[in-house]
Amino acid sequence: MRKAGIMGGTFNPIHNGHLILATEALKQFELEEVLFMPCGVPYMKVDQKVESGQIRAEMTALAIQDIPEFRLSTIEIEQQGNTYTYETLEYLKKTNPDTEYYFIVGADSFFHMTQWKFPERIFANCCVLAAVRDDKSYADMERQMARLQKDYHADIRLLQIPCMDISSSAIRRKVSLGESVAGDVPKAVRDYIERKGLYR
């Protein structure tokens, strides 16, 4: 079986934290590739302005262009209406039966997965790689992992990542204030944001 990671998200914009997370997943779990998958209509973020799928996909493509194991997937942004993780995973498993999928999530998302649509169908179709971060205790992560294993028979592995303080919301705020985001996003993404006048 092939081993592929899935790095989903709004990517508004994609940043170096996303790339570090995917790189660590690739190394620690010997994945063959990581699919970067910008979401379509983010139903959990209806209260914030999100750039179009095309713009977020273009930024993602620029961010990963120099890493051969990273690949852009546009299957969610090509759909009409809301997109759901369980549907994406079921589609991928049906069309690629020779592939095991590893769904990469940050610590915050890991603690909210039961609030996603049909979490039992998510856990049935992938192994979840949950990033351990300094602001979440290891004991809390292990307790959550045990709960999900008990309630959903979930296959979950903890992913060790270096400490980093980067977020898309902080990047948007910096850009709006005219502050530098060097070090937060790849240069190609920084140039794209400036060229398109995003987040002003």
pLDDT at 100: 98
Nearest alpha-carbon partner for 113 in 126, 100, 97: 126
Q: Determine the number of helices (DSSP H) and then strands (DSSP E) in the chain.
A: 8, 6
Q: Where are the domains of the chain?
A: 2-196
Surface-to-core class of residue 99, CB atoms within 10 Å of its CB (0-12 exposed, 13-18 middle, 19+ buried): middle
For tokens 């009409």, the residue is 80
pLDDT at 47: 54
- For each successive 10 residues of the chain (200 residues), what is the average pLDDT? 96 96 97 96 64 96 98 94 92 97 94 96 98 80 96 96 88 97 97 97
For tokens 């209406």, the residue is 81
Of 3.40.1010.10, 3.40.50.620, 3.40.50.880, 1.10.10.10, the CATH number of 2-196 is: 3.40.50.620
pLDDT at 46: 53
For tokens 């508004």, the residue is 12
Distance CA 103, CA 190 (A): 27
Distance CA 114, CA 166 (A): 25
Distance CA 62, CA 187 (A): 9
Surface-to-core class of residue 94, CB atoms within 10 Å of its CB (0-12 exposed, 13-18 middle, 19+ buried): exposed
Q: Can you give the pTM of this predicted structure?
A: 0.94
Contacts of 67 (CB under 8 A, 6+ apart): 19, 23
Phi, psi values for residue 40, rounded to 5°: -80, -110
Nearest alpha-carbon partner for 101 in 157, 162, 58: 157
Element (H, E) at 6: strand 2-9
Q: Tell whether omega for the bond before 13 is within 30 degrees of 0, i.e. cis.
A: yes
111 three-class SS = coil
